A and B are shown apart, each in its own frame.
Chain A
């Protein structure tokens, strides 16, 4: 039973260290006593006997250390001991620990958050579904079609579902926007129409009631819907008696039969919008007025959706794709769509449209890399601190080495301290990451104008990423100082020289190298922030072409009004009521948003060779006045039929290129093949997009069509405060009409530039952290430099150097490092910023002003951070400094 003895002794050693120490001590003392007695019996004097006995024993402390390390559980015990010591050291140096945990935590936290976010976008299992790793999306790729998200024709889905052999079952779904209304609310929502087996294939269980079944998906079945958890809580009061109640969906009475589970947001994550309702594929989704188009046209023709299936056991996406492609040749031709190939992708990778992935992926990668740079900088900083500290503790280590501790033991202690520090930072980082994501889901997305209606939470793999980062950071800032400390000869350290490397005649310490690198990293971050900042400034200075003061935008969705005449009557009624409202200065309606234009070709009847590519939209009477667009010549549209059929308004850019230096009013043009005469020329030129360069624009008179119309109102007061009144007026006229996208022109413009603001915001935060890191790094390095050369400074002051001279000499050393780091950083930036060139607006990626400002800024930071240590050294009494050293 030797192992029992061992375990006993491990426990005894761990918990009764003191007693064990005492026993060792007593035994060695007794041993020494016996030795002395033996020597005295041989006739030596007591003093000589003592001396020889000590020599023979060879150092009581070293023997003790050898016994300690030979004991069972010694390594575990030493680890525990080091953890205790480490925690004590970190608590003693609270300021250092706080800064280290904060900076390393920010690095780990932001990397973890970004990792989580990209996991959410690109590699997420379907929450709410069972075993979603077995699910795969089937894309039918048609010849001669191009779209970011392929869509499968329903007849092809039916044939594939029938003939395939690799899925247990295939389901079909697609999304559309419609109006949902109850007695209290009306809103535009996303609805997913799904095949009857959809919920069964995904394995989604209802939170309340039931899910949709095959029997619901028939033309003669009652129209029923499953409501999303979020909408149920938000708009239906979260009441359980919602089951069986009817709401109006698309103007059609629909009975609610169930509530989807909380996390379930469907499969597609495009645009971050989650469906509010699930209905079956036989939902009469066309407006009743369009009954002339056969109901269910979608089911028989080319309109598309996506298919999702559960793979049979042992089948992977590749095998399934091979099976389906084998069938592709025999599928019937639907409309003019010919199948090119069929792709099967694990559902986790198909939740974002490939086009979207291509845009978002690189941007996230850049942020991930930048966070990595910040983390590296933070680690360098901590390493710097630890080196400074280990310099101060060098005597301590030297004493321990002299007393018989092995180098490994000292390294272990230093490394455990570093690990403790990085673990605490990692915990802080994970907390920060989850806070960041929560903030992103609410405040930040609102600030940035990103329509995020889903919650992003910390991914399970985020913890392992954080753990890896913790170990990596501990290695960076633990190993460097540790190895430096352990490579040294204890005797040298007791004599106290400084650790330096000699390189081409310069004395460079390792932490000076670290500081230089850190300055370089911070410079890169500052350059990025500067470029994004300038780009954002340029955007804020854009003349939008509109008068952005007190303009309110809104979209009216009247799908549920059955006839065209009734819709026109509704619109007339609405505009009349708004015009009469005391708060409203003017109002106009049109088909598009302020920067929503479509392509149009404009040519001259007498010169068919000159065709100009313009962007066009429709404008109602008074539209330009309400928008604040200046009329240069001619007039706005009136409501006359001749304007609708034969007039066009163009901008100055187009007029100048058609008839340079001539009056264009009254002249004839071909506008998309329709002959029209120019009745007005306006100044507006942003029709190619807010951030695109000015170009030729054209307008035709507004003819209400389709199911929605955009309003522009100029109000007397704050436009945002008119929004509730607008909703009230719309509801008073017709309760099944939704009013959506109510926003001021200012926030509309902000939403269009959200990406730029995100980049500017994130890069400024990183740059700020980078600057803080450099400031701390400079401060600590210079303080220790000054400490190291305190004697030299004191001597110089004592022999008559002025404090001013001392300060400048000390500063010049730090200054050289900062300048070197800045130069390296600027060089690296010049190489790297090309990668973000396409995200910048009117700023070259090698913008000279940004680079110069960054250089000046960094040098100022360096000088300020090094000024205080130098000053305090210069004002020290020389005699005090000499005594202390």
Chain B
């Protein structure tokens, strides 16, 4: 899938997985998702709205997440996203794939160096 490159520090190709993973716990609105990701990574990942919102819309169009209007904790209107069944399946695949990638990269990095 072609993706907009941005100045965000999120590694390319992982933003979808991060959003799905965040929504696995509970339905959340856009700001909630991005704040949660920032908190958990201690601010390492700053989400650029120009990348983040298109990703949300794309995931929804792919049927991986679903949205509904609701009220925030401060009673403001907000659009809440939740994971669909196919979203859960997709997240599992992505996680499996990701751990394989990480394992492979670690093997390369930990391999004894020549010389």
Contact surface of A with B, Cβ cutoff 8 Å: 1-2, 5-6, 9, 24, 26-28, 30-31, 33-35, 37-38, 56-58, 62-63, 66-67, 69-72
**CB <8 Å contact, B31 and A34:** yes
- C-alpha spacing A62/B50, complex, angstroms: 7
Chain A residue contacts of B53, Cβ below 8 A = 27-28, 63, 66-67
Q: Which residues of A contact B76 (CB under 8 A)?
A: 30, 33-34, 37
| Contact pattern, B 59-92, Cβ under 8 Å of A = 1, otherwise 0 | 0011100000000101011110000001000000
Give 20 pairs: A residue, B residue, CB < 8 Å, sorted on A: A1-B86, A2-B86, A5-B63, A9-B61, A30-B76, A30-B78, A30-B79, A31-B29, A33-B76, A33-B77, A34-B78, A37-B74, A63-B49, A66-B51, A67-B53, A70-B4, A70-B55, A70-B58, A71-B54, A71-B58
B30 at interface by CB-CB < 8 Å: yes
Closest chain A residue, CB of each to CB of B51: A66
Assuming the A-B contacts A66-B4, A70-B54, are A27 and B30 also in contact, with contact meaning beta carbons closer than 8 angstroms in the complex?
A: yes
Task: Please name the residue on chain A nearest to B32 by beta carbon.
Answer: A34
CA distance A63 to B53 in the complex (A): 7
Does chain A have a CB within 8 A of B98? Answer: no
A58 to B52, CA, bound (A): 12
> Nearest residue in B to A12 (C-beta to C-beta)?
B61
Q: In chain A, what residue has the closest Cβ to B34?
A: A31
Q: How far is the CA of A24 from the CA of B49 in the complex (A)?
A: 13
A63 touches B74 (CB 8 A): no
Expressed in whole angstroms, the Cα–Cα distance for A503 and B53 within the complex equals: 47
Let me know if A58 and B31 touch, CB within 8 A: no
B61 to chain A, nearest CB (A): 4
Given contacts A27-B53, A30-B77, A31-B31, 8 further A-B contacts (CB under 8 A): A9-B61, A30-B78, A31-B49, A56-B49, A58-B49, A58-B50, A66-B51, A67-B53
A57→B62 contact, CB < 8 A? no
A34 touches B29 (CB 8 A): yes
Contact in complex: A72, B51 (CB < 8 Å): no
CA distance A67 to B53 in the complex (A): 7
| Contact A67–B54 (Cβ < 8 Å) | yes
Shortest beta-carbon contacts, A-B, top 4:
A70-B54, A5-B63, A9-B61, A34-B31
Closest to A28 in B: B53
Q: Which chain B residues border A9 with CB–CB below 8 Å?
A: 61
Instruction: Please indicate the chain A residues that have their CB under 8 angstroms from the CB of B54 in the complex.
Output: 66-67, 69-71
Shortest beta-carbon distance from B71 to chain A in Å = 11
- B44 sits at the interface (CB 8 A): no
Cα(A6)–Cα(B57), bound, Å = 12
B39 at the binding interface (Cβ < 8 Å): no
Residue of B29, B50, B61 touching A63 (CB-CB under 8 A): B50
What distance in Å separates the Cβ of B27 from its nearest Cβ neighbour in chain A? Answer: 15
Min CB distance, B53 to chain A, in Å? 5
**Docked CA distance A37–B50 (Å):** 21
Residues from chain B with Cβ under 8 Å of A6 in the complex: 61-62
Report the bound CA distance from A70 to B63 in whole Å. 15
Cβ–Cβ contact A58 & B48, under 8 A: yes
Residues of A within 8 Å of B31, CB to CB, are 31, 34-35, 38
* Residues A57 and B58 in contact, CB atoms below 8 Å apart: no
Q: Which residues of A contact B49 (CB under 8 A)?
A: 31, 56-58, 63
Nearest CB in chain A to that of B77: its residue:
A30
CB-defined interface of B8-48 with A at 8 Å, one 1/0 digit per residue?
A: 00000000000000000000011100000000000000001
A2 near B62 (CB under 8 angstroms)?
Answer: yes
Q: How distant is B113 from chain A, measured CB to nearest CB, in Å?
A: 42
- Complex Cα gap A2–B29 (Å): 23
Q: Which residue of A lies closest to B78 (CB)?
A: A30
Q: Judge whether B30 and A31 touch: CB under 8 Å.
A: yes
B61 adjacent to A5 (CB under 8 Å) = yes
